[in-house]
């Protein structure tokens, strides 16, 4: 019994660490993609760096507002 319990404890620790590593890896992948997107935009000279920075800030603010609205919508659904 103790060997199987030890095995399952070790297995659960490994799985937990794997999930954390996966999340870190996916976050890193997203940041790399964003960086490459920005580099391409700058190379093509579609907009100036200042304009792009301003637009990126606007997009980030809009994304935050959308998340807040989605959270409020979920809360309202639960209350009904």
**pLDDT tens per residue across span 52-78:** 789 899 999 999 999 998 888 777 666
Give the closest residue to 53 by CA, choosing from 71, 38, 73. 38
Are residues 65 and 27 both part of a single domain? no
| pLDDT per residue as tens digits for the range 19-46 | 666 667 777 788 888 888 888 877 777 7
Could you give the number of structural domains in the chain? 2
- Is the pLDDT at 15 greater than 60, yes or no? yes
Cα separation, 62 vs 5, in Å, equals 49
Q: pLDDT value at position 74?
A: 75
Structural domain that includes position 3: 1-46
Q: pLDDT value at position 61?
A: 95
Are residues 38 and 54 both part of a single domain? no
Are residues 39 and 66 both part of a single domain? no
Are residues 23 and 33 both part of a single domain? yes
Are residues 9 and 33 both part of a single domain? yes
Q: What is the reported pTM?
A: 0.39
């Amino acid at each position: 019994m103790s060997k199987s319990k030890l095995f399952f404890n070790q297995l659960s620790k490994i799985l937990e660490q794997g999930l954390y590593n996966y999340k870190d890896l996916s976050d890193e992948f997203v940041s790399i993609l964003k960086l490459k997107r920005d580099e391409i935009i700058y190379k093509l000279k579609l907009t100036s760096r200042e304009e792009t920075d301003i637009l990126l800030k606007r997009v980030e603010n809009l994304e935050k507002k959308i998340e807040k609205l989605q959270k409020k919508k979920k809360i309202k659904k639960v209350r009904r």
